[in-house]
Chains A and B, each alone.
Chain A
Amino acid sequence: MRLFDPHIHMTSRTTDDYAAMAAAGIAAIVEPAFWVGQPRTHVETFEDYFLSLLGWERFRASQFGIRHFCTLALNPKEANNPRIAQGVIDLLPRYLEKDGVVAVGEIGFDDQTEAEAKYFSSQIELAKEFHLPVLIHTPHRDKKRGTERTLALVRESGIRPELVLIDHNTEETLPLVLPSGCWAGHSIYPKTKMDEQRMVQLVKQYGGERMVINSAADWGVSDPLKVPQTVQAMVEAGIPHSTITRIAWDNPVNFFRQSGRLDLNVSEARPFVDQRQLWEGNSVLRGQSPVVDTSCDSYEPRSRS
């Protein structure tokens, strides 16, 4: 079964992670622009970050047979930083046109401040202008109220709900999100957010329609294999294969395909792996023999050994 992790921050991960993800069946990923762990002090830092998501990281993923797409935005936390917030918004139109950008995101609420609401709304307007879907982060704190405010803001914006993926859902927020017509993301984490067994229960209760799972793996204690591990938990719980395939591949594909940039002709098959390739003179290899596997016209699961 080919798998899609529609929310993972590979910039913070290693080549070992890429190799393990590919071995576990992950064939495509979306990397949302996000908070890098500490506040940035210059708008220009965002520009370099966006460029790395569009360039080096996409190449790095390809070297392990994984298709890499990204979403770009001013993240909710740094929307509160008056030094850089408007400057990043002004920067976005140039980058939202780029190939490989499949949504505006992640946007939304963190502390639920006025500044966050302002830039949340303005970035939905950007998404409408560029005909892109939006990926929305929901807050860790005061989550239910934050999700209610999110849904209200989405309604007010006039964006069609099928263009909206609301992420990091829990038992408390999913019953709010699904009736809205938006897609519902779930971040499977080792200790916080959602876990595999709780996700199984949610799928049993709500089915697979507009349901998405991701690892949201980043620089913290997180696990880039949470999508395959959750798939395994669903298999063991007897959830129908068609439902699992829908959640772990079809739904993220159908959501991000609305961007018109998912490049499905390639991502439905595993891309060729040719580690002899260079990116601006740089290789991911450090003395290893390059893997060259140009026979992957269609994806076949690989052994983890």
Chain B
Amino acid sequence: MSPPESSYLDLVRRRCAAHAMTWWDSVLDTEAASASRSELSKAYSKAVRTLGSDRLEFAQQEIDSENAARFLAFQERPLHEFGRAALLLFALELLPADEHVEFVDNLFMYGDSREQEALLRALSILPDQGRFLLTAVEACRANVQTVFEAIACENSYPGCYFPESNFNQMVLKAIYTGVSLRRILGLPDRITPTLKGMASDHIKERTAAGRPVHEDIALIMNP
């Protein structure tokens, strides 16, 4: 089997220290990787220790010449997070299409918090992204705030794919957890009378309880 078209894999590889590069190349041995979903999943878990947490900075040349523009959401993120996103893309290139949704959902369900966060930030670079809606919606139910923020904040996926009810619940949860609504991409385009009504009820509830109201709620009431 020939290796996948993989400029994104090289974007990771050239940032690897020597020991990490050896590991990365072994993970990308397509024959071994094709043979085992569990090996891909284990590599996804191990990436944090081998790739490390250096902040990613794409060079302008990379953005111009190597199609890195679609990965700009990972700019300034830890290298292991982008490495995991690259591994996810790699896995989907190897696996039959009818296994993709289950593979991604399992990776989320059995992931630790940082694995989940990397996956959620990668959703918008995956092929045929709408397929992964249920996983993305489930992520909004997380009690781990960093996981919730990985889907709700600086992520174009909810604005593009969430049905109205799920999007509105995510916005309300952001309000409840003190997240700035300015971090929700696409919010101005998703404000509806229903969302305004929910925000209005929230203001009344907080006022009746003698509690302060999140100042960003004005972005919904007076967009």
Question: Interface residues, chain A, CB within 8 Å of chain B?
Answer: 37-39, 41, 77, 80-83, 110-113, 140-145, 170-172, 194, 198
B208 touches A170 (CB 8 A): yes
Residues of chain B with a CB closer than 8 A to A140's CB: 176
Report the minimal beta-carbon distance from A47 to chain B, rounded to whole angstroms: 19
Residues of chain B with a CB closer than 8 A to A77's CB: 141
Contact residues of B between 178 and 223, Cβ < 8 Å to A: 198, 201-202, 204-205, 208-210
Name the residue of chain B whose CB is nearest to the CB of A114.
B165
Q: Find A172's partner among B109, B138, B208 (CB 8 Å cutoff).
A: B208
Residues of chain B with a CB closer than 8 A to A171's CB: 205, 208-209
A38 touches B142 (CB 8 A): yes
Inter-chain pairs besides A112-B169, A142-B172, 6 sampled, C-beta below 8 Å: A38-B142, A82-B134, A83-B109, A111-B165, A141-B202, A171-B205
- B173 on interface, CB distance cutoff 8 Å: yes
Q: Can you list 6 residue pairs at the A/B interface with Cβ under 8 Å? A: A38-B142, A82-B134, A141-B176, A141-B202, A172-B205, A194-B209
Residues of chain A with a CB closer than 8 A to B143's CB: 37-38
Number of A-B contacts (CB under 8 A): 57
A41 touches B165 (CB 8 A): no
Residues of chain A with a CB closer than 8 A to B165's CB: 111-113
Q: Interface residues of B, CB < 8 Å — how many?
A: 24
A80 touches B138 (CB 8 A): yes
A144 touches B141 (CB 8 A): no
Question: Interface residues, chain B, CB within 8 Å of chain A?
Answer: 109-110, 134, 137-138, 141-144, 165-166, 168-169, 172-173, 176, 198, 201-202, 204-205, 208-210
Cα distance, A111 to B166, chains bound together (Å) = 8
Name the residue of chain A whose CB is nearest to the CB of B166.
A111
Report the minimal beta-carbon distance from A168 to chain B, rounded to whole angstroms: 12
Report the minimal beta-carbon distance from A21 to chain B, rounded to whole angstroms: 25
A39 touches B109 (CB 8 A): yes
Report the minimal beta-carbon distance from B147 to chain A, rounded to whole angstroms: 9
Report the minimal beta-carbon distance from B141 to chain A, rounded to whole angstroms: 6
Report the minimal beta-carbon distance from A131 to chain B, rounded to whole angstroms: 32
Residues of chain B with a CB closer than 8 A to A41's CB: 109-110
B205 touches A141 (CB 8 A): no
Q: Find A38's partner among B137, B144, B168, B202 (CB 8 Å cutoff).
A: B144
Residues of chain A with a CB closer than 8 A to B169's CB: 111-112, 141-142
10 A-B pairs with least C-beta separation: A141-B172, A171-B208, A111-B169, A142-B198, A172-B205, A144-B201, A37-B143, A77-B141, A172-B208, A41-B109
- Which of A80, A142, A170, A172 has the largest count of B CB atoms less than 10 A from its CB? A142
Cα distance, A194 to B209, chains bound together (Å) = 8
Cα distance, A229 to B137, chains bound together (Å) = 38
A145 touches B201 (CB 8 A): yes
Residues of chain B with a CB closer than 8 A to A141's CB: 169, 172-173, 176, 198, 202
Cα distance, A113 to B168, chains bound together (Å) = 12
A145 touches B198 (CB 8 A): yes
B205 touches A143 (CB 8 A): yes
Report the minimal beta-carbon distance from B162 to chain A, rounded to whole angstroms: 12
Name the residue of chain B whose CB is nearest to the CB of A81.
B138
Cα distance, A111 to B168, chains bound together (Å) = 10
Report the minimal beta-carbon distance from B142 to chain A, rounded to whole angstroms: 7
Name the residue of chain A whose CB is nearest to the CB of B169.
A111
A144 touches B209 (CB 8 A): no
Report the minimal beta-carbon distance from A212 to chain B, rounded to whole angstroms: 19
- Which of A111, A113, A171 has the largest count of B CB atoms less than 10 A from its CB? A111
Cα distance, A77 to B110, chains bound together (Å) = 18
A170 touches B176 (CB 8 A): no
B141 touches A39 (CB 8 A): yes
Cα distance, A83 to B202, chains bound together (Å) = 32
A144 touches B205 (CB 8 A): yes
B210 touches A198 (CB 8 A): yes
Report the minimal beta-carbon distance from A35 to chain B, rounded to whole angstroms: 8
Q: Find B204's partner among A83, A113, A172 (CB 8 Å cutoff).
A: A172
Report the minimal beta-carbon distance from A205 to chain B, rounded to whole angstroms: 12
Cα distance, A140 to B176, chains bound together (Å) = 9
Report the minimal beta-carbon distance from A191 to chain B, rounded to whole angstroms: 9
Report the minimal beta-carbon distance from B205 to chain A, rounded to whole angstroms: 5
Report the minimal beta-carbon distance from B203 to chain A, rounded to whole angstroms: 11
Name the residue of chain B whose CB is nearest to the CB of A37.
B143
Report the minimal beta-carbon distance from B134 to chain A, rounded to whole angstroms: 8
Cα distance, A200 to B123, chains bound together (Å) = 48
Residues of chain A with a CB closer than 8 A to B172's CB: 141-142
Residues of chain A with a CB closer than 8 A to B137's CB: 80
Cα distance, A37 to B210, chains bound together (Å) = 28
Cα distance, A143 to B143, chains bound together (Å) = 18
Report the minimal beta-carbon distance from B11 to chain A, rounded to whole angstroms: 32
| CB within 8 Å for A80 and B208 given contacts A41-B110, A140-B176, A142-B201 | no
